[in-house]
Structure 1
Amino acid sequence: MTLLPIIARRRDGQRHSEAELRELANAAAVGSVPDYQIAAWLMAAYLNPLDEEQTAWLTLAMADSGQRLDLTSLPKPWVDKHSTGGVGDKTTLVLLPLLAACGLTMVKMSGRGLGITGGTLDKLSSVEGLRLDLTPERLIEVAREVGFALGGQTAQLAPADGVLYSLRDATGTVASMPLIVSSILSKKIAGGAETIVLDVKCGSGGFMRTLDEARELARWLRTIGERCGLRVRCAITDMSTPLGAAVGNALEVREAWDVLSGVPLSEPVIRFRELCLDLAGLALETSEAGDRAKAEEALTSGKAAQKFEAWLRAQGATSGVEALPSAPVVRTVRAAQD
């Protein structure tokens, strides 16, 4: 099989048909074409971007390149969240147990680091024994038991995006609006969510450096998500400074636990806690399941911390946050000014 006609069409800035984009996604998923042809298409798509209709087609094609999770055996609402990432961004580690404690159901696929951003899977890999390579069936079992489950991409769920995701990082094509949007949303669709809350980071520590760029990404995410049948809400949040006080895989897991467990927090971590509550309130309101006050109660009562501990056990962790490894060198870096 060859993708040459599809590559040439993208190179020349011509429109793809929906069938062509499904052919591309399926070829990537099953490995029927060499990586260099997919890389060539990605560079052509970076230089000649897809329009909104083609982006929606690519999103659905990548979601359908594997199976979609069937969440009908789990209680609604079915919700997912995504942050575009940045320095110290660990919101997933707090939001998932917090929202599960409020009665929402979430099955989330997370990724490794991309560009300057650290990946949720990289951070959680510091927890001894924690399984992040769950089958679709096991993801649903964990979500039924705890209220949420988290894993990485597998050959069963959005496999085409897994291939494109890694090649974008290797080919300098990360910063493409249609490719960013299709990657984010294809995983949400494959995970079975109906409501998506998106945290678009803006500032020097994220992909979107300016407010105009962040607004444009938020508009694309909402537009393409709605074209694909999702209910989408976006929040644009600050990434001009690190989020919280910890940067580093195990350090960030420990800091997320500090927020969940209610220990005294420094000022930067208090700001991180407030952001998590704001995003939780947005998710609850969008899914018509509560508000920020409900999230605050779940956090202060310890229910969210209990969910986090139950989730660690359900996904095979052999020790808790107290046993996280420590780096040989840990430094505090203070800003020269406020």
Structure 2
Amino acid sequence: MKAVVITQPGEPEVLKIQERETPLPKPNEVLIEVKAAGINRPDIFQRKGNYPPPADAPQDIPGLEIAGTITAIGKEVTQWKTGDQVCALLGGGGYAAFAVADAGHCLPVPANWTFVEAASLPETVFTVWQNVFRLGKLKNGENFLVHGGSSGIGITAIQLAAAFGANVYTTAGSDEKCKTCQNLGAKRSINYKIEDFETVLKKVGADVILDMIGGDYILKNIRILNPDGRLVYINAMKGGKAEIDVTDLMKKRLTLTGSTLRNRNADFKTQLAIEIKANVWPVIAAGKFKPIIYRTFKLEDAAKAHQLMESNEHIGKIVLEI
């Protein structure tokens, strides 16, 4: 099969097409003929040598989410059959013509969605469900702030939070991106290049904040959190260090937490998939969540897809078509 391989740590040009053996599914896995694969920020980190995959995942083929057709199943798999159309969360290996996935980490392609649209779901939906709703415990009527609102995580968090009745606020880096965020359900989107989100939001405050920025955002987040607020980290692109006065946390009874998904065990991800199918798939079926695909690339053009992601020009998801 054809696969995109990280030939060495470095810039996008290190991604090369190579021939690899088609993987065989283990007893608990399915083999998927990949039709589309989502591009995610962790793929960039892995390409640069900063985010090693789990030991049981392909070590040099990136890709954390795919959509396609099941062509073979392991002997222990009962919930899927060959021919089923699924999207799946992977530990790696998605940039390829075929990939294996844990059967418990697959979800059906939503009705009337293309493979490209479905491939934009797993990594972002799993991440948002875990961090916004499980850790953040976001409730109907609460104020929710997500930074990087036009990213794949951002557009997912905005739509799901709004669908579950939260008041959504976000930051983004241009007026166009802010407009997109508001069209997706944000009450207010703040262009961080011309406005300070702390100044804008200090009167209404936030009950839950999802942050992937870090740096000088850390203390600003803490200052605008309402009593009993929850601050959840999934990345720290501007740095992970800040000097925090813990009495600020104590006075307002704040929770500061975060998580990564890739290194969690299979049972944990299976439980997430069960919850997502029960809670998120009905939102999709009701038309309250739509995919935002910025651009697609051929598998051979994976380097160009990475260049686009690193430019931060995109709004929504970048996807490889295979």
The TM-score, its normalising length taken from structure 2, stands at 0.28
Structure with greater strand percent: 2
The structure whose RCO (Cα within 8 Å, separation 6+) is larger is 1
